[in-house]
Amino acid sequence: MTKSDLINKVQEKFKIYSHKDIAYAVNIIFTAMTEAMKKGERTEIRGFGNFTIRERKPRLGRNPKSGSQVKLGERKTPFFKTGKELRIKVNNKNGL
């Protein structure tokens, strides 16, 4: 699902709001989540999952094209952990 697909899906559910208003609301939510993760904060959506930042240690990597070793510095990367309800729904357990 793309961002525009999400906007269209929400638009179908809430027909009283314009497409522009729905797009604005979705952008506000994504911006708030991004800003929280920039600050190192965790974003939790109950039943869906958690978005956090993980710090990766420096290591030696490999250039896939040339095969030569490359030093990779310390960096932060976004991480998503699914919630229990989402995991159950995706795996079709308990007749859902």
Domain assignment present for 95 = no
Domain assignment present for 96 = no
Residue 65: CB atoms within 10 Å: 6
- Cβ 44 vs Cβ 33: under 8 Å: no
Domain total of the chain: 1
User: Could you tell me which of 12, 20, 87 has the C-alpha nearest to residue 49?
Assistant: 87
List, for the chain, all residue ranges whose pLDDT scores fall below the cut of 70.
Answer: 94-96
Determine the structural domain holding residue 57 and report its residue range.
Answer: 3-90
> What pLDDT was estimated at residue 94?
63
> In CATH, what number is assigned to the domain containing residue 57?
4.10.520.10
Domain assignment present for 19 = yes
> What pLDDT was estimated at residue 92?
85
What's the rounded Cα separation, in Å, for the pair 54 and 96?
Answer: 32
> What pLDDT was estimated at residue 73?
94
Domain assignment present for 17 = yes
Domain assignment present for 36 = yes
